[in-house]
Structure 1
Amino acid sequence: MTAASTKRLDERTYECFTVEIANKIAHITLNRPDQFNAMNRAFWRELPEIVREIDDNALARVIVVSSTGKHFTAGMDLSVFTSGKSQEGKETGRLRANLMKNILRLQKTFGCLDEARVPVLMAVQGGCIGGGVDFASACDMRYATKDAFFCIQEINIGMTADVGTFPRLPHLMPQGLVRELSYTGRRLFAEEAKSCGFVNAVFDTQEDMLKAVMGIAREIAARSPLAVHGSKEMINYARDHSIADGLRQIAIWQTGMFQPHDMMESFKAKSEKRDPDFDDLLPLDDAL
């Protein structure tokens, strides 16, 4: 174990992020505003490290993702596609095999948000471009300032988005709109994103947005963590399966995971006119 890994998560220094954990809420902030928070190599390494540590160790009941500067993110940094080593003379098949492996690794970065036991809320200001749409589509909820916009930028540079937009976005907005955005590369501005259901709410300023999103995060953190975890599991499962499969899965989940203690605590707290006091999820190592 390195010296850095023994530090509290919110005491560590990251190249692309700052992390704060308070009141059972983890706040992850993209923090390269001078580079428009472009997703460089460190981004793809640091984000899953942070999210998995929060999730695996049950450090928070909800995650909020926000950003700094004019734009949420300019998308993929071109340095991700260059190794710095000459590929001249290399066998094409080997290079393509490496490319596929690298794409799968990038996909796992945002997969960790989908797979986390806790909800992930994203607060977007300015542009959320290219890989930013992949990022946003992997979160549970999205909020935006009135100047925010989303753009599937890949089509504008002659490629197909490949890190999560197409598997997830058609579940979050009408497929015809997804196709239009994907084929044209036009900007989806905040109010249209709200009208089609991609974002939950639009705010005048980033300050107003963060205040509201943190309020929603506090509401989530006050609920039974096991019940919230189960809700996220079932919503994700239903998204990927038939209605019949989803109904059977919730029956199986409820049979094995229903926690009468949390329900009794809810009723007791209400009768005593106090906030309920629920147990946190167990760290994954302790849950084995």
Structure 2
Amino acid sequence: MSPDVAENSPQSPVSPADSTWECFDVDLSDGVAHVRLNRPEAYNSMVPAFWTELPAIVEGLDAAGTTRVMVLSSTGKHFSAGMDLAVFTEGGLGGASGVSEQGRRNAGLWLMVQHLQRSFTALANARFPVLAAVQGGCIGGAVDMVAAADCRYGTEDSFVCIQEINIAMTADVGTLQRLGRLVPEGVAREWAYTGDRIPAGRVREVGFFNETFADHEALVAGVLEIARRIAAQSPLAIWGTKEAISYARDHSTADALHQMAGWQSGMFQPGDMMEAFTAKGEKRAPVFEGLPPLPGAR
């Protein structure tokens, strides 16, 4: 990564990297945010704190405007075992603790499920791409999480499992809504109906993983290298590209072209393009300004 990128990506004084998290470690370097799940002794299961920390980290990085790409990786034997039992047993899914009337208890659960969903939707809504690096098991809620990322990579010995069906539950935090757009619908249905462990080779074959790597060390190094290549591009152009791909996925081609025309009429400015051409002519890395902070960002 050229040091020129770092010069235009100053770390925010209230960056998530400056905070202590129960479930994550966060590093920022040259426009790349590396967010790691850090509870390996518990297979990085998703305790109640996880569901507030993840969106806080992602939204904090996005608000500052200096992050150009995020890598989501993990520690230990498995990427994540999914939802921790504490979320079920400590009132986390009750939603309306202390409420006895059934309708209100049901309403509390409805609100809680949406709270959990928003934790992963933060990845999809971020202005920067999110790259997920999966080692070992990616189980249950972890599949929901990586399905919300832009790209996914795995180790050769990793596997994916939609675990919810194995505990007589319907997956409810994004897998069933996103997976069928990432792999053939029949494949998504098979995985969701059977709860089988799907080995990395098959996961890559159907396109859920972009690529597989020999081991965890090679995985993280390889994904960080991809992240650096993305971070070297114009962050405004990358944001527009993510917006266009996401919009086109959920709309007709005609609507998506209309959206693109509107985006381009406001966001397409000659500055970054001229810098790209100038840098190429001068045989140097281009220097691009970061994204504007979001309103209200400190």
- Bucket of the pairwise TM-score, normalised by the shorter protein: over 0.9
Aligned residue pair count: 283
- The reply on whether 1:111 has 2:121 as its aligned counterpart is yes
User: What displacement does 1:79 show?
Assistant: 1.2
User: Contact (CA 8 Å) 2:165, 2:194: kept in 1 or not?
Assistant: yes
Give the TM-score of the pair, scaled to structure 1.
0.94
Find the counterpart in structure 2 of residue 76 from structure 1. Answer: 83
Find the counterpart in structure 1 of residue 67 from structure 2. Answer: 60
Aligned mates of 1:286, 1:45 — CA distance in 2: 19
User: What displacement does 1:10 show?
Assistant: 1.4
Find the counterpart in structure 1 of residue 39 from structure 2. Answer: 32
- The reply on whether 1:271 has 2:271 as its aligned counterpart is no
Find the counterpart in structure 1 of residue 58 from structure 2. Answer: 51
Distance 1:89 1:260, change over 3 A: closer
Aligned mates of 2:221, 2:250 — CA distance in 1: 33
Distance 1:157 1:225, change over 3 A: same
Percentage of pairs with the same residue = 54
Find the counterpart in structure 2 of residue 233 from structure 1. Answer: 243
Residue number among 210, 218, 223 corresponding to 2:233 in the alignment: 223
Distance 1:159 1:147, change over 3 A: same
- Residues 213-248 of structure 1: CA distance to partner in whole angstroms, max 9, x if unpaired? 111001000000000000000000011111111111
Find the counterpart in structure 2 of residue 154 from structure 1. Answer: 164
What SS does structure 1 have at the residue aligned with 2:295?
helix
- With CA pairs under 8 Å and 6+ residues apart, which has the higher RCO, 1 or 2? 2
What runs of 5+ residues in structure 1 fail to find an aligned partner?
A: none
RMSD: 1.8
Aligned mates of 1:88, 1:112 — CA distance in 2: 29
Find the counterpart in structure 1 of residue 130 from structure 2. Answer: 120
User: Contact (CA 8 Å) 2:32, 2:227: kept in 1 or not?
Assistant: yes
User: What displacement does 1:81 show?
Assistant: 2.1
Aligned mates of 1:286, 1:267 — CA distance in 2: 34
Find the counterpart in structure 2 of residue 11 from structure 1. Answer: 18
Give the TM-score of the pair, scaled to structure 2.
0.91
Find the counterpart in structure 2 of residue 182 from structure 1. Answer: 192
What SS does structure 2 have at the residue aligned with 1:250?
helix
User: What displacement does 1:77 show?
Assistant: 0.7
Q: Which amino acid aligns with 1:90?
A: S
